[in-house]
Amino acid sequence: MKQLPKRLATFIFLLIWFGVFGLMFVNQQRLIDWYKLRGYTPSPEVAALVTSDAMTAYGQHLLYVNRPIITAGSDFGDACPQGAEKTVVLGCYKGGDEGIWLYKVSDPRLKGVVEVTAAHEMLHAAYARLSGDDKKSIDAQLSDYYARGLTDQRVKETIAAYKKTEPTELLNEMHSIFATEIVSLPNGLETYYKQYFTDRAKVAAYTMRYQSEFTSRQQQVAAFDTQLKDLKQAIEANQASLQSQRSSLNDLQEQMEALKVQGDTAGYNSRVAPYNQAVNKYNALLAETRNQINTYNEVVEKRNTVALEERQLTQALSAQSLPSEQ
């Protein structure tokens, strides 16, 4: 068989290698992901998050490539030290797909926090992979919704906090927050998020569920405060009336004593019935006021119990629940 000329053989060799390098360049992210996922098997808890959050295959891929870890205590504190990205959910994403950590919230009243956190952090990984044009398009939609469509006051306050603490990451945070904490979004954003979730409403429902644990208690505390305000006004008004009635009774009693000393039996007797009526009125108001005070104290106890529950829930989702740095 006749051999190819040396130059032609070299050219073909280089062409093949350029082709190989070209394919590697085009598929470099896939190769990197393949390398990171070698031998990785998600824990049952992590795998369950994919189902609970209704993640697509791509959403699952983004989560798994970051080898998420659900942990608590010092392990979480070491992975996500104070100052790391944290929202109402507890977790952090290390840029460059260097890992996702999720804080293990065990309080059954806060069921859904870990699920929302997982989706939130996965979307940070997704945002980091957007092309320049895609990011520009999504950023415009996020900004428009924030300016024109966002009505959830809690989310507005969350975004306002990020404006102060992480202004350069504002759109990145909106990208995660809107998807996981808003039930209904504009059609453009709903369509966009379908590449990550088959049913995004499931994630938003988790947020609504555990947020209701806060809002219901906040509403109860507000109702108790209104009741206490009304009771306090009624008690103070009654106490002022009692003081006035007591002064009148004292005056009437002094008059009756004087009449008795003077021997004016008729005058004395004429005042007995009014005096007894005034005493009965005074005693009735006194009993009513004592009942109001008892009710006030009972409401205070109920109010403080609910407020304590709210503080405990808030602490479970705040940096206070994390171990302090040594």
**For residue range 200-255, what is the model confidence (pLDDT) as tens digits?**
999 999 998 888 788 888 889 999 999 999 999 999 999 999 999 999 999 999 99
The Cα–Cα gap between 104 and 312 comes to 16
pLDDT of residue 19: 47
pLDDT of residue 82: 56
SS3 readout for the chain:
CCCCCHHHHHHHHHHHHHHHHHHHHHCHHHHHHHHHCCCCCCCHHHHHHHHHCCECHHHHHHHHCCCCEEECHHHHHHHCCCCCCCCCCCEEEECCCCEEEEECCCCHHHCCHHHHHHHHHHHHHHHHCCCHHHHHHHHHHHHHHHHHCCCCHHHHHHHHHHHHHCHHHHHHHHHHHHHHHCCCCCHHHHHHHCCCECCCHHHHHHHHHHHHHHHHHHHHHHHHHHHHHHHHHHHHHHHHHHHHHHHHHHHHHHHHHHHHHHCCHHHHHHHHHHHHHHHHHHHHHHHHHHHHHHHHHHHHHHHHHHHHHHHHHHHHCCHHHCCCCC
Strand-pairing partners, residue 204, are none
pLDDT of residue 242: 95
Residue 227 identity: Q
pLDDT of residue 12: 53
| Tokens 């390098």, located at residue | 21
pLDDT of residue 311: 82
Give the residue ranges of the chain where pLDDT is below 70.
1-28, 73-74, 81-89, 317-326
Residue 247 identity: S
pLDDT of residue 24: 44
Contact at 8 Å (CB) between 131 and 164? no
pLDDT of residue 18: 47
The Cα–Cα gap between 231 and 237 comes to 10
Name the nearest CA neighbour of 171 among 124, 117, 207: 124
Query: Residues with Cβ < 8 Å from 65, sequence gap 6 or more?
Result: 33, 36, 37, 97, 125
The Cα–Cα gap between 101 and 117 comes to 9
Q: Parse the chain into domains and list their residue ranges.
A: 39-209, 214-321
Fold topology of 214-321: Helix Hairpins (1.10.287)
Name the nearest CA neighbour of 87 among 220, 207, 230: 207
pLDDT of residue 20: 42
pLDDT of residue 37: 78
Give, rounded to a whole angstrom, the gap between the first and last alpha carbons of the chain: 75
